[in-house]
Amino acid sequence: MPYPKLDRTLIQMKPLSARENKVQIENDHIPLSAQPQHLSPSGQTLIREVADRMRTARANGKPVILASGAHTIKNGLAPILNHLMEDGWLTHLATNGAGVIHDWEFAFQGESSEDVKGGVSRGEFGNWQETGFNINLALNIGAYEGLGYGESVGAMIENEGLTIPSVADLERDILDNIQSDSDHVASMADLISIIKHFDLPAGWMSIPHAWKQYSIQAKAYQLGIPFTGHPMIGHDIIYNHPMNHGGALGRVALRDFLTFAEAVSRIDGGVYLSLGSAVMSPMIFEKSLSMAQNLALQKGDVIDTHYILVVDLAKSSWDWTKGEPPEDNPDYYLRFNKSFSRMGGTMRYLTADNRDFLLGLAHQLES
């Protein structure tokens, strides 16, 4: 007997324009000309070290991957990340579901970051029509088109709209492909149900993004740099909206995980930057590296010359160059550090604000 479930179709969605936001991207973004405020001498030394590693990686055609939590985007660092992409310093970016949402909201309305406590008490936290409708629709279309999570949203921002296929075309394609491509057929069937439920007309759907110059996803899409999204079901406000579809979300998220894993498979001699992500970044990296190591060992190779820099505000008294601390040391429970200390190669930890770190890194790479 199935357990009862909440009916999302009964939720009253409000227009995003009615929401008060804490961050306005035009006023609160961090320009490249800004200076780091609180970098210690040891932090500056570490930034010089990672910059040298990035120069070597770029010269040798090795990946430089940056994975970050949502605060990196919410803190207005898009101009710095976009600059690093444009100058060829980053070959892959990754974030969680909230990072994708903040980036999209900035591009769409120039604002993001709602009052969670007050919103929950009013029954409106996350119940915003445009955010839930547009991001989920982009993921649903992206699943049908074979795109990943981040690329689906980045394409919508950069192109300022989406193409909705007709039900008749989808039904014909299902019949033509049912024997040869069952996965694609399933995504078509899912999309048909979405189009019918929301009565979406076929053709181009214009979705203006007046602030898309601040979008990291759009810039990555424009430059052909993978920007992967790594969500967890129920963690993000887009799950409140009935447009959300588990099948489509699973397809685009799995596509992005495997894209991320492919980049990690080439990380030997490369650089991995984990910025303000206590859960997503270490978890996807350790599984990806395990798979990559398995494939490397089958060929008689080993991945062991990669460089990992973990940046977070949490203070740590442990010397992570010695590996993980014993269980009676509180630093043992800094999960992100412990996970990365097990990943071989060279691992360093920097206690710093993500704004200071990225500014310091960008300036160092230009020197």
What is the per-residue pLDDT for 72? 95
Token digits of residue 302? 């080993």
SS3 287: helix
What is the per-residue pLDDT for 336? 86
In this predicted model, what pLDDT tens digit does every residue of 312-364 receive, in sequence order? Answer: 999 988 898 888 899 999 989 888 899 999 999 999 999 999 999 999 999 99
Residues 6+ apart with CB under 8 A from 104: 131, 134, 135, 153, 157, 215, 217
Rounded to 10 deg, the angle between the 97-109 and 149-159 helix axes is 0
Query: Contact 159/221 with Cβ under 8 angstroms?
Result: no
Token digits of residue 217? 């996803």
Query: Contact 258/152 with Cβ under 8 angstroms?
Result: no
**Helices within the chain (DSSP H only):** 25-28, 41-59, 70-74, 78-86, 97-109, 116-121, 129-145, 149-159, 167-177, 182-197, 216-223, 246-264, 280-298, 335-341, 354-366
Query: Contact 249/189 with Cβ under 8 angstroms?
Result: no
Would strands 203-206 and 161-164 be described as parallel, antiparallel, or unpaired?
A: antiparallel
| Spans of the chain below 70 pLDDT | none
Residues 6+ apart with CB under 8 A from 57: 63, 64, 269, 270, 271, 307
User: Tokens 């799950």 sit at which residue?
Assistant: 239
Q: Distance between CA atoms of 79 and 290, rounded to whole angstroms? A: 33
Number of Cβ within 10 Å of residue 89's Cβ equals 21
Quickly list DSSP for 251-278.
Answer: HHHHHHHHHHHHHHTT-TT-EEEEES-S
What is the per-residue pLDDT for 199? 97
Amino acid found at 173: D
What is the per-residue pLDDT for 210? 98
| Model confidence, pTM | 0.96
Token digits of residue 49? 């070290």
Least Cα distance to 119 among 3, 28, 240, 222 occurs for: 240
Residues 6+ apart with CB under 8 A from 182: none
Query: How far, in Å, are 51, 97, 162, 206 from residue 233 at the CA level?
Result: 35, 9, 24, 28
What is the per-residue pLDDT for 322? 86
Query: Contact 357/339 with Cβ under 8 angstroms?
Result: no
Q: Starting from the edge strand earliest in sequence, which strands make up the sheet with 346-351, in order?
A: 227-229, 92-95, 64-68, 271-275, 307-312, 346-351
Q: Which H/E stretch holds residue 347?
A: strand 346-351
Number of Cβ within 10 Å of residue 154's Cβ equals 31
Amino acid found at 282: P
Query: How far, in Å, are 35, 89, 102, 103, 367 from residue 83 at the CA level?
Result: 15, 9, 19, 16, 15
